[in-house]
Amino acid sequence: QHSQTLQHSQTLQHSQTLQHSQTLQRSHTLQHSQTLQHSQTLQHSHTMQLTHTQCNSLTHTATLTDTATLTDTATLTHTATLTDTATLTDTATLTHTATLTLTDTATL
């Protein structure tokens, strides 16, 4: 009597990696304007008096007034931009393992 045993093993393995990235970006702009105005008035008066004497006394009076108005206007504008950036990355690894074992026994 003679016995013989044959055995064969095979292992299969498969790995798969899935990766997904998503970038979110948001921008927000802030703007502020401010106007400054300043007025200044300059006034100058000058009085002249003329006297003329003939049969009767005549007095002439003249008043000269110079007026100047200066206006300064300035507008200030401030602008700020805020940017938020977020990156989300998801990674998944799937691993499949299968082992096949074949055993053959023959008895002679």
Contact call for residues 72 and 37 (beta carbons, < 8 A): yes
| Structure confidence at residue 10 as a pLDDT band (50, 70, 90) | confident
pLDDT tens digits, residue range 13-69?
Answer: 888 999 999 999 999 999 999 999 999 998 888 887 766 666 666 777 788 888 899
Q: Could you give the CA distance from residue 41 to residue 47 in angstroms, rounded to a whole number?
A: 20
In the chain, count of helices (H) and strands (E)?
Answer: 0, 2
pLDDT tens digits, residue range 37-49?
Answer: 999 998 888 887 7
Contact call for residues 99 and 13 (beta carbons, < 8 A): no
Tell me the DSSP string of 53-76: ESSSEEEEEEEEEEEEEEEEEEEE
